[in-house]
Amino acid sequence: MSDCTFSPSLCHIDLGAIRRNFGRMGEAHALMPVIKSDAYGHGLVPVARVLSDAGARRFAVGTVSEAMALRDAGLRQTIVPLLGALTDVDWQGAVMQGLTPVVGNFDQLERAAAHCHAGRTLRVAIKCETGMGRLGFSQKELPQVIDRLRSIQGIEPAMVISHFSCADMPEQEAYTQEQVRRFTAMSDALREVFPEIERSLCNTAGTIGRPEAHFEVCRPGISLYGGNPFTGTTWEDKGAKLGLEWAMSVSAPVIEVRQLAEGQSVSYGRLFTAQKPSVVAVVAIGYATAFNRALSTRTAMLVNGRRVPQVGRVCMGMIMADVTNIPQVRVGDTAWLVGGPADPGQTPVTPQDMADALGTISYEVLCLFGGMNPRVYG
């Protein structure tokens, strides 16, 4: 996002909710909270600091650059860049700042070896491919990996990790069990040679639903920010019973209130035409700041504590709401597109509601809103 503010919409981040969600996921010493992609849009350093205060001993980030930002902020925990070190500059930074980059192929392994310096240990996380089909050493490659690791002076395999493909899908139970089996076999082989290596397989879904696969370290992600990975499945209650709290709300001001006569339309394409005399509020947010154009006429918002429908085509910097049934809506009132204070009997729109309307996942909604709007913390 540029330094020039081009929208008055705001992301409100409840750091207390993130801390409480972290506490719901297990003992702090056994967790590596995932704060990649700017903490899913919630702000990398503020989230890391509140989790550090809550006892986090490790962080999983996306890139070495994110890890360096945490070091610059004074955070000394174990930090694992999940994409690994991608350039020589990344490798140099990983060594100098004591990071634990992921190594998942032989090229990365050789580059790690090339950056091991006398008197300094480079810790790495060995990535195993168990069924995601993206990154990591195969089971067939593992003996060669172990032999090479034993021969490199100054390298320490500190962690072995893999990633579930569909642990959030009850109908894929057999596939998930096979991933656990493969990971167990591969990590056992590594532990025979490196007995202190820590094992980490579980994402949020695994952390909540797979206690038998927790090993030493779990990596909760979406749950930190309030998301239940089992929403819409037969296991929904597994997450719901934890009482997870959404940490992000999104607001924007009402900038105009218009009276529409019967038959009058509003916005591009005439998606909304008043069937009776109506009142429409114009709200200063749009697709330029992550209010997806595909949400046109398919979502709602809170205005003065009441849930009202969004009407008309979403514009670049404006949306409209039908506030006919809410008395005395004025310019300067606040509309809450996600979350916000609700009157008794009214319900805020959640990131999951918005994701469902878009046919996507809450992760995307959070990342985009948080990445394209100024954030305020509470």
Q: What is the pLDDT of residue 117?
A: 77
E strands, the chain, are: 10-13, 58-61, 78-81, 102-103, 122-127, 155-161, 198-200, 248-260, 265-266, 272-273, 278-283, 300-303, 306-311, 319-322, 334-338, 375-377
Give the whole-angstrom CA distance, residue 148 versus residue 151.
Answer: 5
Give the whole-angstrom CA distance, residue 372 versus residue 9.
Answer: 9
Q: What is the pLDDT of residue 118?
A: 67
Q: What is the pLDDT of residue 116?
A: 87
Question: What residues act catalytically?
Answer: 36, 268
pTM (predicted TM-score): 0.95
Q: In which residue are the tokens 């200063």 written? A: 284
Q: What is the pLDDT of residue 214?
A: 97
Amino acid letter, residue 273: T
* Mean pLDDT of each 10-residue bin along the chain, 378 residues long: 74 98 98 98 98 98 98 98 96 96 97 85 97 97 97 95 97 97 98 98 97 97 98 97 98 97 96 96 97 98 98 97 95 98 97 97 98 95
Q: What is the pLDDT of residue 2?
A: 53
Q: What is the pLDDT of residue 1?
A: 45
